[in-house]
Structure 1
Amino acid sequence: MSDESEAWHMMPVAILAILWNLAGCADYVMTQYGVAPYLQLFTQSQAEYFTSVPAFVDGAWAVAVWGGLLGAVLLFLRVGVAPWILGFSALGMTVAAVWLIVFATPGLTEVAGYFGDAMIAGAAAMAILFYAYARQMRVAGEI
């Protein structure tokens, strides 16, 4: 597409997606490596909970944050595979959120309250929205 017909919102959304996913990647790295100053932001039970999730949840979380960052960068660069990558990211975040809220014992609500539920559900919603946006831009021929 020429610059004249370019969707005005594409770059701001892509930049927002990059920043959002960078924050998710930072959270993932600091949790995985047990960065003490970061984990001290949580109660001891919350820190233990987030650092001891099952491997498949860790994997879904990794796909969510790293796939989200890659997909956001590809969206910024207008690479056609961006919706696919963001879709896998959304799937990973949704799997992690559903497991933490519904299937984990103890559940996220017991450990972090309804605020924790809202945070993880909001992260999943953002991942889905970024996927839906990228897909719409692909359908519209913007990427």
Structure 2
Amino acid sequence: MTTTKPNTGFWIIAVLALLWNLMGVFQYLSTTLWADAIKEALPPEQVALMDALPSWYSYVFAVAVFAGVIGSLLLLIRKKLAVPVLGISLLAVLVQMGYWLFATDVMEVVGMSSVVMPLVVIIIAIFLYFYSKGAAQKGWLR
């Protein structure tokens, strides 16, 4: 398949995807490097939620955000490898957010507002995966 030049929207989405995923890396690093400072600012119930997370949760979080950054960079350099890498990010997001929403008491502790950000993250991860697949099918990726 020959590659074709992507439209302007592709470049806007790829740059926004990278910025979004870099914010995810910042969030990951914040919760790992500055966990104590974050916990000092939270109510005890929320600290208990964070402390009760299994050790694998942090690894899945890392896979989600770092695969997202790599996948976004691959989009920017127009590589088909972006599709499976963003797929890995999506899978990790689904595991991470699914656990957070359904295996913890976050909705009882924080309320229904605790659902908003995880849903936004899931929706964006789904979008980026399927957008990368579409970009590959249109010949924008090599």
Q: TM-score range by the shorter chain?
A: 0.7 to 0.9
Greater CA deviation, 116-125 or 84-93?
Answer: 116-125
Corresponding residue number in structure 2 for 1:91: 91
Gap regions ≥5 residues in structure 2: none
Task: Give the superposed CA RMSD.
Answer: 1.9
Counterpart of 1:118 (choices 83, 101, 116) is 116
SS of aligned partner of 1:53 = coil
Moved over 6 A (4+): none
* Inter-partner Cα distance in structure 1 for 2:103 and 2:19: 30
1:71 aligns with 2:71: yes
Greater RCO, CA 8 A, separation 6+: 2
Identity of aligned residues (%): 26
- TM, length-normalised to structure 1: 0.86
Report the CA distance shift for 1:69/1:42 in structure 2 as closer, same or farther (over 3 A): farther
* Inter-partner Cα distance in structure 2 for 1:51 and 1:74: 35
Report the CA distance shift for 1:82/1:54 in structure 2 as closer, same or farther (over 3 A): same
- TM, length-normalised to structure 2: 0.87
Corresponding residue number in structure 2 for 1:138: 136
Gap regions ≥5 residues in structure 1: none
Greater CA deviation, 111-120 or 49-58?
Answer: 49-58
Q: Can you list the C-alpha shifts for 1:79-109, whole angstroms capped at 9, x where unaligned?
A: 11001111100110111111111122xx221
